[in-house]
Structure 1
Amino acid sequence: MDTQGIGRRIAYWRERRRMTQQDFGALMGKSRRWVQDLEGGQRQSDPRLSLLEDAAHVLSVRLEVLLSDVSLTRRTECVDSTELERIRVVLQRHDVITGTCDDSTQGPLPIEILRRNVAYGWTAFQASSFSALGRVVPGLLIDANRAACRHEGDSRLAAYELLSMSLQLVEAVAIKFGDFDLAFTAADRSVMAAERSQDPVVMAAAARHLADAMTQHGQARAAMDFATAAAARLEPDLIARGADGLSVLGMLYLKAAMAAATLDAHTAVPDLLHQADEHAVELGVDGNSLWTAYGPTNVAVHRVAAYVRLSEGADAVAAAERIPDSARSALPRERRAHHLVDLARGLTQAGRREDAVSTLLRAEEESAEEVHCRPRTRQLVEDLRLLGTGSAEGRLRALAERCGLPW
């Protein structure tokens, strides 16, 4: 047995769970020195299986994760259920639910520091560095709530803006990893915080995330109505705000279009996409205001996604072929990979399953996390296995193994 490899994996997961060696040792009924020896591969030449089972239990991982000789590099890619639960626990705190002050003697973070922390989280998301968010987000929520409670005047309004953006980040992460209840809770809270910020741009940003969460939560009709109502209410203020306002206004119409596609509302989808396209043309460039990646290219990739939801795979493929490679490559990594997965699903619907495998492999090159970790992408890999992929079967089998899927 590779005791040094097991020791490294235990150390990795202990640190990821934010445990000290002392804490881990106490939960194992051992000393800190014992933990040091175990992690260094010096405790014993052949650790007992029962000991490793206890360690896996304490670390909230499967036993095979500690036994596997797969590089830890891939293990860092996924936010797991334990980290999502830690975020949920923070959302269930009394102070975070009520927006009141906690009992900490620590003062609120200065607004500029909090703003940098929020920007770090969103930058990590767009770079597909998802595992970092599992560790960062709980503390970010507590800091943002404390700032909103304890700052005064304009600083308090700014703190509510940053609290809303933090909750929107939770929604985005939860959607990515298939926890739609958590996504809905976070998005609903983000709307309330945005309203208290009194900033129409933040209100629209929160509304588009709630519309997304509602759609994924099985409330697509309500999502479409909510997004279009928010757009109508806020449009004059948003247009006056320039690039920031146009970007979130356009995203509201894109989320409404995706909700309509979920409903199979074939006549509504083109109209909503057209409205989003008009705002993108008015904006004139592919930007990234409030981490929207909004512009003509993002409208184009949403058009592909909408066709896929309507099960019109051939139309999705045709729409994707009209997107210039240079424009697609300028999108954030998360958006590029997400689009390629949508395209792979469209190719599958069109019966081009070998091309679908090739496109999934391109998505994996862009962001292994989007393919290895995301439930909807893993399901596509499984669907392709069941459908058969001809000469691409060997490549699909290898991909399934990297995803940890049975063959």
Structure 2
Amino acid sequence: MDDALLSELLAAKLRDAMLGLDGAVSVPSAEALDADFARARADFDACRYAGLAVRLPRLIRAGHALTANGDGADHCSRLAQTYLVATRMLVKLDEQQLGWMAADRARQLAEASGDALAVAECARQLSVLARKAGWHDQALSIALSAADDPQLRGSGRAGAAERGLLIQSAAYTVARRGDRDGMRSLTDEAAAIAKELGGATLLRDHGGGFSPLTVQLHRISAENYAGDPMAALDAARSISLKALPSVERRSRCLSDVAAALDRLGRRQECVRTLLAAEHHAPEETHTRPVVKMLISSLLVSGPTSTELRGLAQRSGVLS
């Protein structure tokens, strides 16, 4: 399938699964579901979105069939985790209505299963969606309230790492408001948590985990959103792509760098960086609306090249 059509396919399949429009459901064993979910999470981390278009709807249908039968907290927890992956994917695709639906279902299921880490991650995703809707005060409140929750503070190393991610989300929000000092203060707070943890902390509901390196990755887009693309590039210089924990994180790094270069008018470097992102994660580069908008703006804002036109065609921006 043409990568440029993947976003529509994935969103449509998730929509129909969440609405229960797929008819009879065959429910595999718990072991098979766990294996299928592990593959879905690996697909997300590797930016294999064609695989997600098959696995996530299947997991949602099966999860609802099991929870409807009252089959226990384990199934609620798995379904909550499935909805969290779906939410992160829908946020990437800028499908906000479906994203809200998925995030709210994830929250209800996480609360029902008593999973404090999943509840906190749901709050982070709701904060992201609120920020995208322009509800900055609410986004900030959601993230910081979740970071201060006593249950999360009592969840050990993983809880501290999740607090760091929530504080990073708050920093993005104040960056969107143009508050550079506030963004840097919150990012420094997240960096202090990462330093105290003393290395990378893997998180079940966030494939990138949390570490000083991921905080630095966050600084790139945060500085750019706060209006300082040169500071964004300075943050990027200290990051080795190979050291980042997943293809998805490498692609995010490159697309954020490309956005900063575009703001500085460095067109050729911007295009080269987008081509590098495409090399690492073609499906991500061809489907994310924010990347496609950047490619589209490059086409109309100055001289084009064979490489740029080819990228635009592969992304469905240019027919």
SS at match of 1:305: helix
Asked whether the equivalents of residues 158 and 197 of structure 1 are also in contact (C-alpha less than 8 Å), the reply is yes
Unaligned runs of 5+ in 2: none
The partner residue of 1:208 within 108, 124, 129 is 124
- Tell me the residue number matched to 1:403: 315
Q: Amino acid of the residue matched to residue 352 of structure 1?
A: R
The reply on whether 1:88 has 2:15 as its aligned counterpart is yes
- Tell me the residue number matched to 1:232: 148
- Tell me the residue number matched to 1:117: 36
SS at match of 1:282: helix
Q: Amino acid of the residue matched to residue 263 of structure 1?
A: R
Asked whether the equivalents of residues 314 and 349 of structure 1 are also in contact (C-alpha less than 8 Å), the reply is no
The reply on whether 1:191 has 2:118 as its aligned counterpart is no
- Tell me the residue number matched to 1:301: 217
- How far residue 86 of structure 1 moved from its aligned partner, in angstroms, is 2.8
- Tell me the residue number matched to 1:141: 60
Asked whether the equivalents of residues 313 and 346 of structure 1 are also in contact (C-alpha less than 8 Å), the reply is yes
Structure 1 Cα separation of the partners of residues 166 and 52 of structure 2: 25
Which stretch shows the higher mean deviation, 342-351 or 305-314?
305-314
The reply on whether 1:167 has 2:83 as its aligned counterpart is yes
- How far residue 88 of structure 1 moved from its aligned partner, in angstroms, is 1.4
- Tell me the residue number matched to 1:348: 262
The partner residue of 2:136 within 220, 244, 251 is 220
The reply on whether 1:310 has 2:310 as its aligned counterpart is no
1:292–1:254: structure 2 CA closer, same or farther, 3 Å change rule? farther
Q: Amino acid of the residue matched to residue 164 of structure 1?
A: A
Q: Amino acid of the residue matched to residue 108 of structure 2?
A: M
SS at match of 1:288: strand
- Tell me the residue number matched to 2:188: 274
1:325–1:79: structure 2 CA closer, same or farther, 3 Å change rule? closer
Structure 2 Cα separation of the partners of residues 128 and 110 of structure 1: 27
TM-score, structure 1 length as denominator? 0.72
- Tell me the residue number matched to 1:5: none
Asked whether the equivalents of residues 77 and 129 of structure 1 are also in contact (C-alpha less than 8 Å), the reply is no
Q: How many residues align?
A: 317
- How far residue 222 of structure 1 moved from its aligned partner, in angstroms, is 1.0
1:354–1:76: structure 2 CA closer, same or farther, 3 Å change rule? closer
SS at match of 1:405: coil
The list of structure 1 runs, each at least 4 consecutive aligned residues, that deviate by more than 6 angstroms after superposition, is none
- How far residue 309 of structure 1 moved from its aligned partner, in angstroms, is 1.5
Unaligned runs of 5+ in 1: 1-71, 95-101
- How far residue 241 of structure 1 moved from its aligned partner, in angstroms, is 3.1
The partner residue of 2:273 within 359, 363, 372 is 359
Q: Which has the higher contact order (CA 8 A, sep 6+)?
A: 2
Q: Amino acid of the residue matched to residue 179 of structure 1?
A: E
Structure 1 Cα separation of the partners of residues 179 and 293 of structure 2: 25
Asked whether the equivalents of residues 171 and 213 of structure 1 are also in contact (C-alpha less than 8 Å), the reply is no
1:103–1:137: structure 2 CA closer, same or farther, 3 Å change rule? closer
- How far residue 103 of structure 1 moved from its aligned partner, in angstroms, is 8.8
TM-score, structure 2 length as denominator? 0.90
- How far residue 406 of structure 1 moved from its aligned partner, in angstroms, is 2.5
- How far residue 220 of structure 1 moved from its aligned partner, in angstroms, is 2.8
Q: How does 1:384-403 map to 2 (within 5 A)?
A: 384-388=298-302, 393-403=305-315
Structure 2 Cα separation of the partners of residues 374 and 306 of structure 1: 19
Asked whether the equivalents of residues 109 and 147 of structure 1 are also in contact (C-alpha less than 8 Å), the reply is no
Q: Amino acid of the residue matched to residue 73 of structure 2?
A: L
Q: Deviations over 1:18-61 (max 9, x none)?
A: xxxxxxxxxxxxxxxxxxxxxxxxxxxxxxxxxxxxxxxxxxxx
Structure 1 Cα separation of the partners of residues 207 and 182 of structure 2: 23
Q: Amino acid of the residue matched to residue 288 of structure 1?
A: L
SS at match of 2:134: coil
Structure having the higher Rg: 1
Q: How does 1:234-253 map to 2 (within 5 A)?
A: 234=150, 237-253=151-167
Q: Deviations over 1:125-183 (max 9, x none)?
A: 1100011111221221121223333345xxx2222211111111111111122211111
Asked whether the equivalents of residues 309 and 318 of structure 2 are also in contact (C-alpha less than 8 Å), the reply is no
Asked whether the equivalents of residues 229 and 260 of structure 2 are also in contact (C-alpha less than 8 Å), the reply is yes
Q: Amino acid of the residue matched to residue 121 of structure 1?
A: A
SS at match of 1:267: helix
1:370–1:83: structure 2 CA closer, same or farther, 3 Å change rule? closer
Q: Amino acid of the residue matched to residue 40 of structure 2?
A: G
1:223–1:374: structure 2 CA closer, same or farther, 3 Å change rule? same
The partner residue of 2:47 within 128, 136, 151 is 128
- Tell me the residue number matched to 1:373: 287
Q: Amino acid of the residue matched to residue 281 of structure 1?
A: K
